[in-house]
Amino acid sequence: MRKVYNVELLRQLHLARFVYFNEDFNEIYAWFNGPEIKILDYLGETIGHCTIENSSTGGDYSREEIINPRDVDTTIDKIVSDLYQQDE
């Protein structure tokens, strides 16, 4: 059987530098090189966003700062852990 993919979702994922699939919540977290992580549904619609946290300063990144890719990982980990803690 052939699978159908939304073209908008594929376009968004193609442009992203970092993508994480949260299959339990049917969400995709994508980073496009700015200070925000976009939260997408499986249709490619933006359903939310989160500002990347700077681990060295403890605050959020601004548009002018160079973003450490490791901070993208830790911010996404925090989003996912917060989702699972809400379920308990």
Question: Where along the chain do its domains lie?
Answer: 7-83
pTM recorded for the entire structure: 0.83
Could you tell me if 42 and 28 are in contact, meaning their C-beta atoms sit under 8 angstroms apart? yes
Q: Tell me how far apart the alpha carbons of residues 29 and 1 are, in angstroms, rounded to a whole number.
A: 27
Neighbouring C-beta atoms of residue 4, cutoff 10 Å: 6
**Mind listing the pLDDT tens digit for each residue in 10-59?**
888 999 999 999 988 889 999 998 999 999 988 888 999 999 999 888 89
What burial class does residue 58 get, using C-beta atoms within 10 Å of its C-beta: 0-12 exposed, 13-18 middle, 19+ buried? exposed
pLDDT of residue 4: 61
